[in-house]
Structure 1
Amino acid sequence: MNKNSIKKITSMRLFLPIVCLVAVLLVNLITTPGFFKISINNGVLYGYIVDVVNRASELVILAVGMTLVTAASGGQDISVGAVMAVAAAVCCQILSGGEVSVTELAAPMGLAIIAAILASALCGAFNGFLVAKMNIQPMVATLILYTAGRGIGQLITAGQITYVRVDSYKVFGGYIGKIPVPTPIFLAIIVVIIVNLILKKTALGLYIESVGINGTASRLVGLNSTLIKFLTYVICGVLAGIAGIIASSRIYSADVNNIGLNLEMDAILAVALGGNVLGGGKFSLMGSVIGAYTIQALTTTLYAMNVKADQLPVYKAIVVVIIVTLQSPVFQSFIAKQRAKKAAAAVEGGK
């Protein structure tokens, strides 16, 4: 393999995300020799790698929405975790009929899910209005629901944890019939495929990139940059609602205080690890998906190293700082200058 081939491979957008994922998986393999071992117990797949893919499902869905928001607005939606909690509260409250714990559904499953997704879409629309129409900085605009979202969830559930102990509801976070693969994995794959098809088969993906690169120029060529930004926040809200339903189904309850807790940071980190510039513009959906699985694998690694749960955000924050630094124009300019000096020195040496 010549230098040009190596340079071409290393310059691919997904190269670094894949390298990061492989590095984390290798660390897991070293610390846990049976990390890739998969077995079937009671008709269900078991293993560390299965658990990583399964537990990353909600994060994958959030990362997809966060990618679109970041690309279009050049900012992040830090309310997605709270929106998950709101969606879970709405869904479980309708299914339980207001009771604290039920073993039979008080309302149709479809109605509860639609209501939860509509509630999360409304949250996304609120964020989108503040960012796109009112021109409020995304981090500040979404801070409102980040702060108040769980309080709204508490109001919906009357300050109690609502339990829905019904097998049909547990399917979304568990298993479908005798299929050994966890349902969240299928749901995450479906979401990624649908969003990817929409971006590829329509001009939405191109519009999002155009608005993210230069919103003013996009308006001058006829694009409604306000509407495009607004739509990305609505989509992000809907996806957060879906992730909230899955998270709620896993524990068959609406635990508003814990559902989606700190997942907003993981979603932002997944976008950054995916090779996406946090300032907006061009984006890679698959890069964010790979980043999400990398984060979950990293979480598994840290737990294996006996790192406490409340200490995890510190390590993840360090990773974010490193990634943002590597993506900064100043650092990239420094690297470019060093390469230019090295190339000039090589030319001089060859004379």
Structure 2
Amino acid sequence: MLGHQLLWPVVAIVVMLVIDVIAVPSFLDLRVQDGHLYGNPVDIVRNSAPVMLVALGMTLVIATRGIDLSVGAVAAIAAAVACTRIVESADEGAASAAILACTTALAACVLLGVWNGFLVSVVGIQPIIATLVLMVAGRGLAMLVTDGQITTPSNDAFSGLATGFVLGLPIAFLIALGMVVLTAVLTRRTALGMLIEAVGINPDASRLAGVRARTITWTVYVFAAVCAGMAGLIIAANTNSVNANSLGLWIELDAILAVVIGGTALTGGRFSLAGTVVGALLISTLVRTIPSIGIPSEANYLFKAFVVILVCLLQSPRARAALRVRGRRAASSKAVAA
């Protein structure tokens, strides 16, 4: 149990919640208002949805020994397309306008994922370089879509993606959780997960064994782009606006951190969807903890880096081995002294 990869991330979440309760005794309080749950725990799971979605796609990309740095730009493009379509719609406030806009945005994300997959699997460009192209150009595309303006749609159905509730639970979190469950079924109840891991462990050997490594790689980049697009829609719905310069900025780094915290190796191969979920919740809890304990905003990123490094060190097999050796030595010293 002590060697389980999810032990220390879960412990870190529990420790942060305890610190929050000490700093703010009512931190974990929940209340029901208009049939919906409200409170800091609800905010934590709701705000974890965008990172969880992006990290979900990133998990499969990393499992194939790749990386996708363009997910933040893809999120911005999806939000720009959706918000612009809603504003330009003849009936801006109708639910049909939001559905059509979101569908168009996700279709654009599929094309962006196809582009990334083409560069990586067909052209053979290194994933970090191939996705860096879209990371740089994507914000420019989003700016072109919005004409460089902050677009503010007025549509209740669209804003409900971030602020709505179903059975008292946030819709944003339910969407992310639904995607996690769907991905788990496809990767753990079919051969898809094994094929993804095979490509990540040894692409050449998997190809010689009959695995269509190029198709698998292409598929995971498309999936990552769709997940990023869904995250972008939720972020834009939360504020009912899209700023192409800042929406989803650096979310790719949070996603990579969530994947690493969850135990998926950056070298490819085996991956953990449950670990990714825990990693996203840890990051969301950390973001909520920092202001609650009075840490200045200037030190947010430093504190965040410290916690992430600490969790990763505790997960490291070498660090755990060193702690076990030290524990044995201390026990031996006590036995000799006795």
The normalised TM-score by structure 1 is 0.85
Contact 2:95 2:158 in 1 (8 A): no
Give the direction of change, closer, same or farther, for the CA distance of 1:106–1:40 in structure 2 (3 Å limit). closer
Give the direction of change, closer, same or farther, for the CA distance of 1:308–1:142 in structure 2 (3 Å limit). farther
Give the partner amino acid of 1:156.
V
Residue 20 of structure 1: how far off its partner (Å): 2.5
Residue 194 of structure 1: how far off its partner (Å): 0.9
Give the direction of change, closer, same or farther, for the CA distance of 1:130–1:308 in structure 2 (3 Å limit). farther
Aligned-partner Cα distance in 1 for 2:85–2:96 = 6
Residue 220 of structure 1: how far off its partner (Å): 1.8
Aligned-partner Cα distance in 1 for 2:52–2:98 = 24
Structure 2 unaligned spans of 5+: none
Matches within 5 A, 1:167-316: 167-176=156-165, 179-309=167-297, 311-316=299-304
Give the partner amino acid of 2:142.
G
Contact 2:74 2:229 in 1 (8 A): yes
Give the direction of change, closer, same or farther, for the CA distance of 1:334–1:49 in structure 2 (3 Å limit). closer
Contact 2:79 2:233 in 1 (8 A): yes
Provide the alpha-carbon RMSD of the alignment.
Answer: 3.0
Contact 2:195 2:211 in 1 (8 A): yes
Alignment-derived partner of residue 128 in structure 1:
117
Q: 20, 25, 44: which is aligned to 2:12? A: 20
Aligned-partner Cα distance in 2 for 1:300–1:175 = 20
Contact 2:117 2:221 in 1 (8 A): yes
Structure 1 unaligned spans of 5+: 1-8
Residue 311 of structure 1: how far off its partner (Å): 4.2
Give the partner amino acid of 1:34.
S
Residue 154 of structure 1: how far off its partner (Å): 0.7
Deviations 1:91-135 (A, max 9, x none): 111121189xx8535973332112111111222222222222333
Give the partner amino acid of 1:144.
V
- Secondary structure of the 1:45 match is strand
Deviations 1:75-104 (A, max 9, x none): 4212211111100111111121189xx853
Alignment-derived partner of residue 63 in structure 1:
55
- Secondary structure of the 1:163 match is coil
Aligned-partner Cα distance in 1 for 2:315–2:285 = 23
Residue correspondences, number: 334
Contact 2:113 2:221 in 1 (8 A): yes
Q: 34, 46, 56: which is aligned to 1:54? A: 46
Give the partner amino acid of 1:131.
V
Identity between Structure 1 and Structure 2 (%): 38
Give the direction of change, closer, same or farther, for the CA distance of 1:297–1:12 in structure 2 (3 Å limit). same
Aligned-partner Cα distance in 1 for 2:98–2:298 = 35
Give the partner amino acid of 1:125.
V
Give the direction of change, closer, same or farther, for the CA distance of 1:175–1:334 in structure 2 (3 Å limit). closer
Give the partner amino acid of 1:166.
N
Give the partner amino acid of 1:184.
A
Give the direction of change, closer, same or farther, for the CA distance of 1:176–1:32 in structure 2 (3 Å limit). closer
- Secondary structure of the 1:259 match is coil
Contact 1:96 1:107 in 2 (8 A): no
1:82 aligns with 2:73: yes
Give the partner amino acid of 1:46.
Y
Alignment-derived partner of residue 28 in structure 2:
36
